Amino acid sequence: MGGAFALVPRSSFRFTLCCMPASCALQFWLLKSEPDVFGYPDLVRVGREAWNGVRNYQARNFLRQMREGDVCLFYHSNAKPAGIAGVARVARTAYPDDLQFDPASAYFDPASPPQQPRWSMVDVEPVRAFPAVLGLDTIRSLPEWQDSPLVRKGTRLSVLPVTAEQFDAALKAAGLNADFL
DNA sequence: GCCAACGTTGGC
DNA sequence: GCCAACGTTGGC
């Protein structure tokens, strides 16, 4: 076995403890989706997807902070089981969400100024499916996640930042290491 | 299906 | 700018 090497979560080692300027540091996020509508297997099937339909300012602002290559936990909400289903990656940074200008869409926003679109989306690609969905109850039990909006009662944020420690803890709880990153 | 919690809307 | 009403989220 890897000995001391294995004791160091690879993602933290590489991206947090390395001598990278903060402006370049890899960021981690969690994206919620209802699997009945679009689940992680759907992302795997299509290979790449525009993360549209976000209509909450705080979530939108997080989308706009994303950089190419940022790592996302894909969370299944409103599901049995609810939890993290896999890892995705930001393939394109924020650009205008086209659905806001589509009158036929449920996400149409007639008040959005075309010259300064109100809503943004990013593109994401699948990276790795979890062996099994990491249930919300398990996530709640992880010390690293105690302060996350995900587990805070009443928070409905659909795009939220994740720390490197939270990411590593989730991966470890899912039985994965971060070598694939 | 229930309902707590929260964000948004719109009258005033 | 207040705040009641309404809609939505999302776990259970």
Residues A129-144: tens digit of each pLDDT: 999 999 999 999 999 9
With b for 16 or more beta-carbon neighbours within 10 A and e for fewer, the A46-82 pattern comes to eeebebbbbbeeebbebbeebeeebbbbbbbbebeeb
Nearest one of A138, A157, A165 to A77, comparing CA atoms: A157
CA distances from residue A122 to A1, A32, A49, A114 in whole angstroms, order as listed: 39, 14, 8, 18
How do beta strands A49-50 and A71-76 pair?
A: unpaired
Q: Which nucleotide is nearest to A76 (CA to C1')?
A: C10
**What pLDDT shows up at residue A92?**
98
Predicted confidence (pLDDT) at residue A12 exceeds the cutoff of 80:
no
**What pLDDT shows up at residue A10?**
41
Distance A151 CA to B6 C1' (A): 15
User: Residue ranges of the alpha helices (H) in chain A?
Assistant: 4-7, 10-12, 35-38, 40-46, 57-65, 136-141, 164-173
Q: Is the CB of A42 under 7 A from strand C?
A: no
Predicted confidence (pLDDT) at residue A9 exceeds the cutoff of 70:
no
Predicted confidence (pLDDT) at residue A108 exceeds the cutoff of 80:
yes
Predicted confidence (pLDDT) at residue A3 exceeds the cutoff of 60:
no
**What pLDDT shows up at residue A130?**
97
**What pLDDT shows up at residue A21?**
61
**What pLDDT shows up at residue A24?**
75
Residues A19-71: tens digit of each pLDDT: 456 667 899 999 999 999 999 999 999 999 999 999 999 999 999 999 999 99
**How many whole angstroms separate alpha carbon A41 and alpha carbon A128?**
10
Q: Which nucleotides of B are covered by protein (CB under 7 A)?
A: 4-9
Can you tell me the mean pLDDT for A142-155?
Answer: 94
DSSP 3-state assignment of A180?
helix
Q: Is the CB of A153 under 7 A from strand B?
A: yes
- Per-chain mean pLDDT for chain A: 89
Chain A residues 109-128 with Cβ under 7 Å of strand C are none
User: Residue ranges of the alpha helices (H) in A47-149?
Assistant: 57-65, 136-141
CA A31 to chain centre: 4
**How many whole angstroms separate alpha carbon A66 and alpha carbon A88?**
13
Predicted confidence (pLDDT) at residue A11 exceeds the cutoff of 70:
no
Amino acid at site A179: D
Amino acid at site A166: Q
**What pLDDT shows up at residue A20?**
54
Distance A143 CA to C4 C1' (A): 39
- The count of C-alpha atoms lying within 13 angstroms of the C-alpha of A96, restricted to the half-sphere facing its C-beta, is 14
Which domains can be identified in chain A, with CATH numbers? 27-175 (3.10.590.10)
